[in-house]
Amino acid sequence: MANLIEFDTEYELKHMGMEIPAHTQETIENYLMHGWKPGGFVESLLAKDYERAITIADTANRQRFWSIATWIKDWAPENSRGSYDAVNNWCNDTDGIRTKFVNETEKKFIWKVLKE
């Protein structure tokens, strides 16, 4: 089954040198779509706590730190990142912020599948 969250096409990611480890993609997707609290590394990146993130990153994430941080900056919804409060609000779906994103993402995914 395809991911609902686009980590862009494999070609674009590799072409840009932005290979994100599969376990990190899964963590980000679960956070964005379900509000599951991410592990310390991803949570720190989302909160822009880069010093903590690099300190606790596993080897795969440390090697792709810049790619992951860039993907979050460029693609994650603005209200899902930026501080620990923003991460908590996203997980708690404060004011339905996550629900709006999920509904929009699911619609895009359905149309993509139907076009294929």
- For the chain, the domain total comes to 1
Tens of pLDDT along 67-111?
899 889 988 999 999 999 999 999 999 999 999 999 988 888 788
Residue 15 domain boundaries: 10-81+92-115
Q: Judge contact between 48 and 81, C-beta under 8 A.
A: yes
Average pLDDT for residues 34-50, to the nearest whole number?
96
pTM of the model: 0.81
User: Is 86 a member of any domain?
Assistant: no
User: Is 28 a member of any domain?
Assistant: yes
CB proximity list for 37: less than 8 A, separation 6 or greater: 31, 43, 87, 91
User: Is 65 a member of any domain?
Assistant: yes
CA atoms within 13 A on the CB side of 51: 0
| Residue 20 pLDDT greater than 90, yes or no | no
